[in-house]
Amino acid sequence: MAAVTWETSKEYMYKVKVQSVLRIGESITERFVNIMSDVPMTPAMIETEVKERWGEWEKYTAEEITGLQVWSAVRKVME
């Protein structure tokens, strides 16, 4: 996990690669989403959070998740 001095709203930020499709049989779309947290999370916790919040992110509601990969994690350095 990298320690950074970026301005983030929470102590931890996780970058997740999401693969999704509009309809089964169509091309897979890959994008990255960020999950912010004040507590450390395991990869399984991060994947669950993405799945639970996917429908809340309006622009992604019509897409079905076909794969997830936790890509990176950073922790804000408290000065």
**Span 6-63, pLDDT tens digits:** 667 788 999 999 999 988 888 999 999 999 999 999 999 999 999 999 888 767 678 8
DSSP per-residue letters across the chain: -EEE----SSSEEEEEEEEEESSTTSPPEEEEEEEEESS---HHHHHHHHHHHGGGSGGGTTPEEEEEEEEEEEEEPP-
User: How many Cα atoms are found within 13 Å in the side-chain-facing hemisphere of 31?
Assistant: 12
Number of domains into which the chain is organized = 1
Q: What per-residue confidence (pLDDT) applies to 22? A: 87
Q: Which domain holds residue 68?
A: 2-76
Q: What is the CA radius of gyration of the chain?
A: 14
pTM for the predicted model, two decimal places? 0.79
